[in-house]
A and B are shown apart, each in its own frame.
Chain A
Amino acid sequence: MIPGSFDYHRPKTVDEAVALLGQYGEEARAIAGGHSLIPMMKLRLAAPEHLIDLGKIEALRGISRDGDTIVIGATTTQAELIASPVIASNLPILIETAMLIADPQIRYVGTVGGNVANGDPGNDMPALMQCLGADYVLKGASGERSVAARDFYEAAYFTALEDGELLTSIRIPLPPAGCGWAYEKLKRKVGDYATAAAAVMLKLHGGACSFASIALTNVGDTPLLAAEAAEALVGSSLDKSAIDAAVAAAEAITNPASDGRGPAEYRTRMAGVMLRRAIARAKNRAA
């Protein structure tokens, strides 16, 4: 498993990186942690002629709070996310999710930006970002734009990111105060992609659900925002019938592949089971 040859670039600024991406167009790939791209290159399923290493661009790193928004630099690693007090106090669901990604070594180098940007439906962060209503900041030769996570994913490995564009940061609005949260993932072992997973944010007000957001991982060729499922919860007391309705609505939008994790029917059902469990845990956590 040996990758093909390429030229290596190590820009120090975002502008430099964007310029290189613009210059080489589809022959170039940006690399951060590399744990998605390098295996593809070793299998020769990807053969970029130019590799643009984002590792030395300080501006792409770090976690901060900007008013009611949490900003995560694209090359922030999962390990940095897990260790961040800002995330712990504002968006603990990110830590719960990151802990379920891959294994310790990969979390040291795997980046949040890479996880959301490469379009692999197996990745966990995209559905979570949809659930949280995050925006992705993309920078290209013609300037910067923002694309909602909910609009970003087109098909497996196809996203709104254009050739020459770079994901620079992820902006996550603070969830409503008192929100309960949970990310439930069924997998075969540590390091596996989800058989199915569900991200849930919900808020209770006077015993009724006043806000809910739900998204699903790896049960379609993109992450799936389960808007109808969330709607089924809002206004309810999270009683059995409301949850049943949410689960049915969520299962209805899945279209998983049959693979070693199980046939499509199983994975659809597991999306429902994960959702049911995530709702239960989120409910317990809601203030």
Chain B
Amino acid sequence: MNDMTVPREEREAKLEGMGCKRKRVEDVRFTQGKGNYVDDIKLKDMVFGDFVRSPYPHARVKSIDTSAAEALPGVLAVLTAETLKTVNLAWMPTLAGDVQMVLADGKVLFQNQEVAFVIAEDRYIAADAVDLVEVEYEELPVLVDPFKAMEPDAPVLREDLEGKTEGAHGARKHHNHIFEWTVGDSEATDLAFSKAEVTVKELFSYHRCHPCPLETCACVASMDKIKGELTLWGTFQAPHVVRTVASLLSTIPEHKIRVISPDIGGGFGNKVGVYPGYVCSIVGSIVLGRPVKWVEDRIENLSATAFARDYHMTTELAATAEGKITGLRCHVLADHGGFDACADPSKWPAGFFNIITGSYDIPTAHVAVDGVYTNKAPGGVAYRCSFRVTEAVYAMERAIDVLARKLNMDPAELRLKNFIRPEQFPYPSALGWEYDSGDYETAMRKAMETVDYAGLRAEQAEKRAAFERGETRELMGIGVSFFTEIVGAGPTRNCDILGIGMFDSCEIRIHPTGAAIARMGTISQGQGHQTTYAQILATELGIPADMIDIEEGDTDTAPYGLGTYGSRSTPVAGAATAMAARKIKAKAQMIAAHMLEVHEDDLEWDVDGFRVKGLPEKTASMKEICWAAYNNVPPNMEPGLEAVSYYDPPNMTYPFGAYICVMDIDVDTGAHKVRRFYALDDCGTRINPMIIEGQVHGGLTEGYAIAMGQEIAYDDMGNVTTASLMDFFLPTAVETPFWETDWTVTPSPHHPIGAKGVGESPNVGSVPCFSNAVNDAFAHLGVTHIQMPHDNWRIWRECKRLGLTG
């Protein structure tokens, strides 16, 4: 039995609850090679699927001859659009309200689009058979540049939409137009600009990139024809949504489908969507009655599933001569590729792009986003960010730097001048959000002091002078960014996916001995959920974290949840965890009162049990209460100690941070060196500082890669030129800078434990910081904006344009 006479600190330490650097539970298996990822699954009679893909970015499919492939020994089936039409699955709905071909139906719209699906006894035979499928194509004119998509004579991409003037999000203006989404007060904004003393305008292109988790997308579909049950293992960031979609598409009743996300080797947004490989594997298993495994290779991953960004943001700021921002206007051209398969909440075709006013008190703003089709892969996922937030933050954080140049002000000072002040929270933004909490100035000043910002500026001035004197060939750039994220989607009144509200869930069962299991609607892809949810419960329930199992990812056992992406696990499921725990605690209190023969109001909570007020030696520890829950409950109370919570958040959460980067640029090669990078994050209450720091390191590394070279590039013919890890920039340990991390804590007032989420902040905040550092290196030469990615040759091109190098 727990002894509540032990000092409070000792009992608290034993819990390993919130705030402690608990070592991860997951690592025990991962460090021994005992993780269980999708490709590790081996089932009896399992067969393998592989895709025939289009070498052309835009072509008519004249014919598909599968006979030679089918004749190869070991080949079991070759699916084409014609086969899928018999089960009405040649096309599937996307999360964005569009439809997408599962297999090429008459034409292809991007290079490496899925054309046929070969199923064979093993993956080697499947690969051989792919080569034997004969496809006759007739090439069509290719549209790569989104700025040409809406020209009158642009090629018609989506013939299936011909004559459709209404899309899922309103009117379509052109045959390659998907939607226009506007928000804000256009007239008031125009007025602010017409009255402004200073305005700036710049096109900020956020290039196409890709989440590229180390594990590619994969699934195993297993149809038990006798039981009529489908089991689907997959790399799914949202297993319950996959179950619902699979049921709607296949007409298998939802209770006959079990979706399991086992260990996932990183997601970063890549594994939110539903891909043709999943549909074809399910159909294959239904047809063959055998389990079908499909695993993307890296080329397929980079060229066909889930790109991110490709946002072209013409951004304007209006300000007074003293630097007070009076208005913001932004027009976005959004390249969605051949199908609009972006993974946003249904009502938000441009995600939460209207967070673009950022951390600043901007009285009026207007945003318009036009989505267009091009001959590129579909997607538009949130690559380690909330939906379209990193795009918005990039535009704002670059724009304020451009404004600072024009005003001849220091960019950090201009930010300080325009921050939303602590007393303005909850703060209603001009574009419709209500920020929960923040103390931006404190964070910014702490960052500036820690790095000695003034000293850095002095050093930069000296270095510029030395450059002028010919003593160095390096220019020094200082990047500042201050971001406000919007995460934790989200309130069901305005956030849903295919009509399902974006709540999340936790179900807790306490066993008689005081051990517990909690099942969640989310799914970890490396975030350490098994570790951190248990910490929340440990603090809430007074049960040691080591006595609590966290289980996720099996739709047969877990309560319905919307999954893990958009930094929503802690804000939504973390809240559900606390709320479910509090239901248990309330019942525990009644049991304790019964045990101690006092009124429950006479009890007070003390770390891991209750004490009688005024009689502190009279206690009921949680461990004792758990036992009593199964044999000594008050009259008329049901035995047991269980609870479930479906948490519908009242608001988003708004983590923020201040980042500063110091970079040296070699003008003769365009190569850079990040000399220093400091990241201060405020994610509200900190559940596990070790895991937070790890998340920040990872996000910064991704942000570094994106800003400095990571790109999904297409040539003019529509060929993707970066589909291997030779050309798609994933930095190694050698290129990756050293990260300094720091924090402030401003809890969310509406979240049960005050936590805001952190996983994506470092990606969101660091990309503009790196980009600002590059631009800052050239700012004294009149440069306002250099487009990303800032790889060597593009920086060198700017050096050459400026006459700094030959």
Q: Do chains A and B touch in the complex (CB under 8 A)?
A: yes
The interface of chain A, by Cβ under 8 A from chain B, is 1-2, 4-5, 44, 103, 186, 188-193, 195, 259-263, 266, 269-270, 273
B-side interface mostly: loop
Establish whether residues A191 and B806, one from each chain, have CB atoms under 8 Å apart when the complex forms: no
Establish whether residues A192 and B796, one from each chain, have CB atoms under 8 Å apart when the complex forms: no
Establish whether residues A186 and B792, one from each chain, have CB atoms under 8 Å apart when the complex forms: yes
Q: Select the residue from A2, A5, A263, A269 with max chain B CB neighbours within 10 A.
A: A2
Q: How far is the CB of A103 from chain B (nearest CB, A)?
A: 7
Cα–Cα distance between A1 and B731 once the two chains are bound (Å):
23
Q: A2-B127, A273-B669 are known contacts; what are 15 more A-B pairs with Cβ within 8 Å?
A: A1-B299, A4-B128, A44-B131, A186-B792, A188-B709, A189-B729, A189-B731, A190-B734, A192-B726, A195-B792, A259-B721, A261-B792, A262-B793, A262-B796, A273-B668
By a CB distance below 8 angstroms, the chain B residues around A4 are 128
Chain B contacts with A in 107-132, Cβ cutoff 8 A: 123-124, 126-128, 131
Q: How far is the CB of B419 from chain A (nearest CB, A)?
A: 37
Known: A186-B792, A190-B735, A191-B732. A260 touches B727 (CB 8 A): yes
Establish whether residues A263 and B793, one from each chain, have CB atoms under 8 Å apart when the complex forms: yes
Q: How far is the CB of B50 from chain A (nearest CB, A)?
A: 8
By a CB distance below 8 angstroms, the chain A residues around B669 are 186, 270, 273
Cα–Cα distance between A261 and B797 once the two chains are bound (Å):
13
Q: How far is the CB of A124 from chain B (nearest CB, A)?
A: 15
Cα–Cα distance between A188 and B791 once the two chains are bound (Å):
8
Question: Can you name 23 A-B pairs with beta carbons within 8 Å?
Answer: A1-B299, A2-B123, A2-B124, A2-B127, A2-B128, A44-B131, A103-B732, A186-B669, A186-B671, A188-B729, A188-B792, A189-B731, A189-B732, A189-B735, A190-B732, A192-B726, A259-B721, A260-B713, A260-B722, A262-B796, A263-B793, A269-B796, A269-B806
By a CB distance below 8 angstroms, the chain A residues around B128 are 2, 4-5
By a CB distance below 8 angstroms, the chain B residues around A189 are 729, 731-732, 734-735
| B452 adjacent to chain A (CB < 8 Å) | no
| B136 adjacent to chain A (CB < 8 Å) | no
Chain B interface, number of residues (Cβ within 8 angstroms): 30
Establish whether residues A191 and B726, one from each chain, have CB atoms under 8 Å apart when the complex forms: yes
| B162 adjacent to chain A (CB < 8 Å) | no
Cα–Cα distance between A2 and B793 once the two chains are bound (Å):
34
| B297 adjacent to chain A (CB < 8 Å) | yes
Cα–Cα distance between A233 and B464 once the two chains are bound (Å):
33
B276-317 CB contact bits vs A (8 Å, 1 = yes)?
000000000000000000000111000000000000000000
Establish whether residues B793 and A266, one from each chain, have CB atoms under 8 Å apart when the complex forms: yes
Cα–Cα distance between A192 and B734 once the two chains are bound (Å):
13
By a CB distance below 8 angstroms, the chain A residues around B713 are 260
By a CB distance below 8 angstroms, the chain A residues around B726 are 191-193
By a CB distance below 8 angstroms, the chain A residues around B123 are 2
By a CB distance below 8 angstroms, the chain A residues around B793 are 195, 261-263, 266
Establish whether residues B797 and A266, one from each chain, have CB atoms under 8 Å apart when the complex forms: yes
User: Residue of A at shortest CB range from B721?
Assistant: A260
A-side interface mostly: loop
Cα–Cα distance between A262 and B670 once the two chains are bound (Å):
11
By a CB distance below 8 angstroms, the chain B residues around A190 are 732, 734-735
By a CB distance below 8 angstroms, the chain B residues around A259 are 721
User: Residue of B at shortest CB range from A2?
Assistant: B127
Q: Select the residue from A5, A103, A270 with max chain B CB neighbours within 10 A.
A: A270
Q: How far is the CB of B790 from chain A (nearest CB, A)?
A: 12
Q: How far is the CB of B800 from chain A (nearest CB, A)?
A: 8
By a CB distance below 8 angstroms, the chain B residues around A1 are 127, 297-299
By a CB distance below 8 angstroms, the chain A residues around B709 are 188
By a CB distance below 8 angstroms, the chain A residues around B729 are 188-189
Cα–Cα distance between A44 and B734 once the two chains are bound (Å):
32
By a CB distance below 8 angstroms, the chain B residues around A266 are 670, 793, 796-797
Q: How far is the CB of A5 from chain B (nearest CB, A)?
A: 8
By a CB distance below 8 angstroms, the chain B residues around A273 are 668-669
Q: Select the residue from B124, B297, B669, B713 with max chain A CB neighbours within 10 A.
A: B669
Q: How far is the CB of B295 from chain A (nearest CB, A)?
A: 11
Cα–Cα distance between A1 and B797 once the two chains are bound (Å):
36
Cα–Cα distance between A262 and B792 once the two chains are bound (Å):
8
Cα–Cα distance between A195 and B299 once the two chains are bound (Å):
22
Cα–Cα distance between A195 and B669 once the two chains are bound (Å):
10
User: Residue of A at shortest CB range from B797?
Assistant: A266
By a CB distance below 8 angstroms, the chain A residues around B727 are 260
Cα–Cα distance between A273 and B800 once the two chains are bound (Å):
14
Cα–Cα distance between A44 and B128 once the two chains are bound (Å):
10
Q: How far is the CB of B169 from chain A (nearest CB, A)?
A: 35
Query: Which 6 pairs across A and B sit closest by C-beta, in order of nearness?
Result: A262-B793, A2-B127, A266-B793, A190-B732, A260-B727, A1-B297
B660-675 CB contact bits vs A (8 Å, 1 = yes)?
0000000011110000
User: Residue of B at shortest CB range from A247?
Assistant: B806
Q: Select the residue from B128, B709, B726 with max chain A CB neighbours within 10 A.
A: B726
Q: How far is the CB of A277 from chain B (nearest CB, A)?
A: 9
Cα–Cα distance between A189 and B693 once the two chains are bound (Å):
25
User: Residue of B at shortest CB range from A259?
Assistant: B721
By a CB distance below 8 angstroms, the chain A residues around B668 are 273
Cα–Cα distance between A269 and B797 once the two chains are bound (Å):
11
Cα–Cα distance between A1 and B127 once the two chains are bound (Å):
8
By a CB distance below 8 angstroms, the chain B residues around A195 are 792-793
Q: How far is the CB of B73 from chain A (nearest CB, A)?
A: 13
Q: Select the residue from B735, B791, B793 with max chain A CB neighbours within 10 A.
A: B793
By a CB distance below 8 angstroms, the chain B residues around A2 are 123-124, 126-128
B762-806 CB contact bits vs A (8 Å, 1 = yes)?
000000000000000000000000000001110011000000001
Q: How far is the CB of A38 from chain B (nearest CB, A)?
A: 14
